[in-house]
């Protein structure tokens, strides 16, 4: 049915109110956000332009190549889902008529995460001479174990998209940011550590760039929290507590070890992962061992806790890394909105 015409009945059309597809204004109230956007323009990098000419995969044994490609594959389970995840958040900033610099910052995160995904792809393709582990025919026992683990991580990771899509329109940006932030804090730390210890120039530089990107993403989340949390609804606070617990469980998959009560993985998954990581580590590809990983993850949680404490948001108990707090039970993959 054709829409009834109204222009002949009034001088000006009715005002367009959010949520609708886009704001027609370039309001800028948060100065810090403009600075972060400028930094993202300055610090932009192209994965293809890294010093790939210095990289010779045949310098490594097949076991080592399979082990290093495994780590990039684990990362890609998170980073290859980040572009659509942030693209959805970007659309939300338009629908919600966010300020202009906030829209641009979300655009920059989407673009950065696409870069991270490209980097995973370049590393995996060169190491395996195949477009992914899923299409790769393993050459050693390390590769066979790695491929099976990757298939299980992919199965688990793929399950959260439906939940995310329903969460985005349901929650305010303030709630969405809480789970984004946790991923960014931990990611910024781990990439800086890996950049510091990695011996392969092309990977070292990639980690440095990715770590810098994640640092900016963290700043974007923090800036929005500072803007929105003081006026936040009380009902949102308990939701955030639950989100943090869910985010911990989800992101442990890449930043720590996947907790088995949440991740649906075979009994030998973790033992195999530890063995694979050992091979990569011995080849000069630094992956923190169990204790340093735990320490890093714990520090990220404590940093986040300090932020939430300021706004009176209860922190969940995270016994896995020795943090006491509010008990959160029955976290489901369907409930989570964290990204990397």
Question: Which CB sits closer to Fe ion, 89 or 142?
Answer: 89
Pick between residue 217 and residue 294 the one whose CB is nearest to Fe ion. Answer: 217
Contacts of 151 (CB under 8 A, 6+ apart): 133, 134
Nearer to Fe ion, 64 or 113 (CB): 113
Angle at 117 between CA 111 and CA 123, to 5 degrees: 140
Restricted to residues 77-96, the positions that interact with Fe ion (CB under 5 A) are 79
φ, ψ at 79 (rounded to 5°): -75, -20
Alpha-carbon gap, residue 91 to 110, rounded angstroms? 11
Query: What mask of x and - would describe binding to Fe ion in positions 161 to 200, judged by CB under 5 A?
Result: ----------------------------------------
Cβ distance to Fe ion smaller for residue 193 or 272:
193
55, burial (CB in 10 Å: exposed 0-12, middle 13-18, buried 19+): middle
Which residues touch 307 (CB under 8 Å, ≥6 apart)? 181, 222, 225
Instruction: For Fe ion, give the closer residue by CB, 33 or 328.
Output: 33
List the one residue out of 162, 130, 159 whose CA is nearest residue 146: 130
Q: Pick the binder of Fe ion from 65, 92, 103, 116 (CB under 5 A).
A: 116
Q: Report in angstroms how near the CB of residue 155 gets to Fe ion at its nearest.
A: 21
Question: Closest separation between CB of residue 191 and Fe ion, Å?
Answer: 8
**What minimum distance in Å lies between the beta carbon of 250 and Fe ion?**
14
Stretch that binds Fe ion, among 6-14, 76-84, 117-125, 280-288 (CB under 5 A): 76-84
Using CB under 5 A as the binding rule, the residues of this chain from 210 to 269 that contact Fe ion are 214, 217
Cα–Cα separations (whole angstroms), residue 107 to 244, 278, 301: 24, 37, 26
Q: Which is nearer to Fe ion, 65 or 92 (CB)?
A: 92
- How far apart, in whole angstroms, are the C-alpha atoms of residue 183 and residue 248? 9
Contact residues: Fe ion, CB under 5 A:
79, 113, 116, 214, 217
């Amino acid at each position: 049915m054709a829409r009834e015409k109204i222009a002949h009945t009034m001088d000006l059309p009715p005002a367009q109110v959010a949520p609708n597809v886009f704001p027609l204004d370039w309001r800028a109230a948060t100065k810090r956000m403009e600075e972060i956007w400028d930094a993202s323009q300055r610090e932009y990098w192209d994965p293809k332009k890294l010093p790939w000419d210095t990289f010779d995969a045949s310098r490594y044994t097949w076991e080592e190549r399979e082990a290093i490609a495994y780590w990039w594959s684990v990362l890609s389970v998170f980073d290859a889902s980040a572009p659509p995840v942030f693209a959805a958040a970007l659309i939300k900033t338009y629908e919600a008529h966010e300020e202009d610099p906030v829209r641009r910052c979300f655009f920059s995160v989407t673009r950065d995460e696409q870069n991270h995904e490209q980097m995973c792809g370049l590393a995996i393709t060169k190491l395996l001479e195949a477009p992914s582990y899923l299409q790769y025919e393993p050459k050693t026992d390390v590769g066979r174990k790695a491929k099976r683990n990757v298939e299980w991580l992919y199965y688990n990771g793929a399950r959260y998209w439906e939940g995310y899509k329903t969460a985005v329109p349901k929650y305010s940006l303030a709630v969405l940011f809480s789970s984004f932030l946790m991923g960014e804090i931990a990611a910024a730390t781990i990439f800086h550590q890996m950049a510091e210890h990695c011996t392969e120039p092309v990977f070292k530089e990639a980690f440095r760039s990715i770590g810098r990107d994640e640092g900016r993403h963290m700043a974007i989340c923090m800036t929005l929290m500072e803007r929105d949390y003081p006026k936040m609804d009380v009902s949102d606070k308990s939701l955030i507590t639950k989100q943090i617990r869910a985010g911990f469980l989800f992101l442990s998959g890449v930043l720590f070890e996947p907790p088995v009560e949440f991740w649906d993985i075979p009994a030998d998954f973790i033992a195999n992962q530890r063995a694979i990581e050992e091979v990569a580590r011995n080849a000069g590809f630094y992956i923190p061992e169990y204790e340093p990983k735990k320490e890093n993850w714990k520090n990220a949680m404590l940093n986040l806790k300090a932020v939430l404490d300021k706004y009176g948001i209860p922190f969940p108990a995270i016994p896995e890394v020795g943090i006491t707090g509010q008990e959160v039970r029955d976290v489901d993959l369907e409930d989570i909105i964290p990204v990397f």
